[in-house]
Amino acid sequence: MILKNKNEIECRVCNSRNMFKFLSLGPTPLANKFIKKEHLNEEEIYYPLDAYFCEECFFVQIGYVVNPKVLFENYIYVSSTSETLKKQFKEFADDLKSRIKKNSFIVEIASNDGTLLKNFYSYKILGIEPASNIAKIAIAGGIPTLNRFFNIETAKDIVKKYGKADAIIGTNIFAHISNLNEFIEAVKILLDKDGFAVFESPYLADLMEKMEFDTIYHEHIYYLAIKPLISLFKKHSMELFDVKRTKMHGGSIRFYVTKGKFKKEKRVSDLVSLEEKLELGKRKAYEDFSSKALKLKVKLNDLLGKLKMSGKTIAGYGAPAKGNTLLNYTGVGNEILDYIVDKSPLKQGLYTPGKRIPIFSPDAILKKRPDYILILAWNFADEIMRQERAYKEKGGRFIIPIPEPKII
């Protein structure tokens, strides 16, 4: 079943209809809706996946927003499967610890399996996780976790039961919130006047510069830049006072906001200048991006098609959500990739949404010895290539698809 866009798209941040559509990734199933073998004969739902740029408030966003209950229930992504991510979380935790007092109350929104909060055992902590299966994993691991969505009601309930938070954390969540205005109001309710909230989310400048078009999928409603964020928080009487670029998810920004008083760091204006230099407030940057995405699609098909025609075998490495955007947009399917391997036991044995490529454990690489491996989880490429050294030593080759397809 293919769903259609509404006739007119409105900006979800400022309600403007002055929306410039710059990239259409085609009807796409939900990127984390992996399929069980027994459901392979059932039809999937395809949603429009188009990226827009609001010419009023400059927020980049997708036009069709899927009900979060459909998106996040029984969500399959569990953060602790990756070494790189654990390391990045540890760095985040150290940064945060340098900014808070010993007895602080820390609340993490969308705390997943508790990987980040595990770094704060000696503090007062609370996780909020809407996916019931993942909240259970966190609780079993000793992390106090509320299994619900974060909104104004949840914020009020937490204040009543536990008091106001000294620090609110949200990693890879800010871009997922369909109503940012309401979300910020909820954060304000929960946050102590001397506290701060910190969010880490993929950065639009990285997406644009490194051609990370595959990070566009239905869970990511917004593609964030600092300049429009400053204005949004200002509208809610909050100030974005510090920001740091990190390597998370192909390049992210970690931004700090408060309703109290904190010293405004120069790093904030530095990034605003960078965004002006990249012309992120103008149509042209997005038009260029879109034509580069098309070129990448052609080039990847050309490269993989030629290898396949010459009798080579190709497997995929990693079944991240973005891999499914890449496969569905470029049209690379099971006729090219024989299978995909992924370290998460939750994904092994399933099939990718849309292209329906089977997912195995990474053991399959040494057993089946494909000639080429297409790294779909390119943000973990270094880790993957390190772990699969034996494969490379026996003549195997890796292909990294972005910023443009290359064989390593």
Residues interacting with Zn ion, by CB under 5 A? 11, 13-14, 16, 54, 56-57
Q: Which is nearer to Zn ion, 54 or 168 (CB)?
A: 54
- Residue 107 token pair: 């609340």
The least CB distance from residue 235 to Zn ion, in Å, is 11
The least CB distance from residue 326 to Zn ion, in Å, is 28
Q: Which is nearer to Zn ion, 57 or 357 (CB)?
A: 57
The dihedral formed by the CA atoms of 176, 321, 89 and 349, expressed in degrees to the nearest 10: 130
Q: Can you state the angle between helices 226-235 and 266-277, rounded to 10 degrees?
A: 120
Specify the long-range contacts of residues 267-272, CB closer than 8 Å, at least 24 apart: 267/242, 267/243, 268/226, 268/230, 268/240, 268/241, 268/242, 268/243, 271/205, 271/226, 271/243, 271/245, 272/226, 272/227, 272/230
DSSP 260: S
The least CB distance from residue 73 to Zn ion, in Å, is 29
Strand order of the β-sheet with 222-223 is: 19-24, 50-54, 60-62, 222-223
The least CB distance from residue 151 to Zn ion, in Å, is 21
Q: Which is nearer to Zn ion, 11 or 337 (CB)?
A: 11
Q: Which is nearer to Zn ion, 13 or 187 (CB)?
A: 13
Phi, psi of 98 (to 5 degrees): -75, -10
The least CB distance from residue 97 to Zn ion, in Å, is 36
The least CB distance from residue 21 to Zn ion, in Å, is 14
Closest alpha carbon to 283 in 273, 274, 291, 294? 291
CA distances from 353 to 33, 137, 160, 376, 387 (A): 6, 25, 42, 14, 26
Q: Which is nearer to Zn ion, 133 or 231 (CB)?
A: 231
DSSP 45: P
**Identity at 346, one-letter amino acid code:** L
**Identity at 67, one-letter amino acid code:** N
Strand order of the β-sheet with 406-407 is: 359-360, 340-341, 314-317, 372-375, 397-400, 406-407
Q: Which is nearer to Zn ion, 222 or 317 (CB)?
A: 222
The least CB distance from residue 59 to Zn ion, in Å, is 5
The least CB distance from residue 15 to Zn ion, in Å, is 7
Q: How far apart are CA 195 and CA 162, in angstroms?
A: 15
Q: Which is nearer to Zn ion, 231 or 246 (CB)?
A: 231
Q: Which is nearer to Zn ion, 181 or 246 (CB)?
A: 181
| Helix (H) or strand (E) run with residue 193 in it | strand 191-202
Instruction: Give SS3 for 282.
Output: coil
The least CB distance from residue 259 to Zn ion, in Å, is 23
The least CB distance from residue 11 to Zn ion, in Å, is 3
Q: Which is nearer to Zn ion, 107 or 184 (CB)?
A: 184
**Identity at 322, one-letter amino acid code:** K
Q: Which is nearer to Zn ion, 19 or 340 (CB)?
A: 19
Burial-class residue 225 by CB neighbours within 10 Å (0-12, 13-18, 19+).
Answer: buried
Q: Which is nearer to Zn ion, 13 or 326 (CB)?
A: 13
Do the beta carbons of residue 296 and residue 404 sit within 8 Å? yes
Q: How far apart are CA 366 and CA 223, in angstroms?
A: 38
- Residue 395 token pair: 């003549």
